Amino acid sequence: MEQIFELKEKKGITRPYELFTSIKKINIDYAQENLIVFYFNTKNILIKSEILFKGGLNSCTIDPKTLFRHALKLNANSLIIAHNHPSDNLEPSNEDKEVFKELKKCGEILQLKVLDSIIFNKKTYYSLC
């Protein structure tokens, strides 16, 4: 179910706004939750981005094994996850916060940094960092 998007940026991403600019270039169905993963090399240059998971109106199941397997195959040093809320409400749920916390722990074990979790809609975003 994954969709891959090759973004042309070959410079380092240093702020959430720069990532949100990249997110806006990806055509997704805003009526359902989509989890996009951005994989970065050691210089914080984007290697690849992809819609890795799709959900329903108010949730999206994330399989950490799949997420980290993709990151390791790409030899990524870090990643950022981003997902939309079909309601347009950018307030992170307790589950959003908990998933981000758990993914950061998993990443630490693998020495793969989970830098941020971004919630977005068509117009703006919210960074959990």
pLDDT tens-digit readout, 87-116: 999 999 999 999 999 999 999 999 999 999
Residue 6 reports pLDDT greater than 70: no
Number of domains in the chain: 1
* pLDDT of amino acid 59: 82
* pLDDT of amino acid 102: 97
Pick the residue with more confidence: 63 or 14?
Answer: 63
pTM of the predicted model as reported, rounded to 2 decimal places: 0.86
Q: How far apart are CA 9 and CA 54, in angstroms?
A: 25
Neighbours of 56 (CB within 10 A): 11
CATH number at residue 22: 3.40.140.10
Burial annotation 91-107 (CB, 10 A radius, 16+ → b, else e)? ebeeebeebbeebbeeb
Each residue's pLDDT tens digit, 16-65: 777 777 777 788 889 999 999 999 999 888 899 899 999 888 888 999 99
Contact 28, 54 (CB under 8 A): no
Range of the domain at 77: 3-127
Contact 44, 79 (CB under 8 A): no
Q: How far apart are CA 114 and CA 68, in angstroms?
A: 10
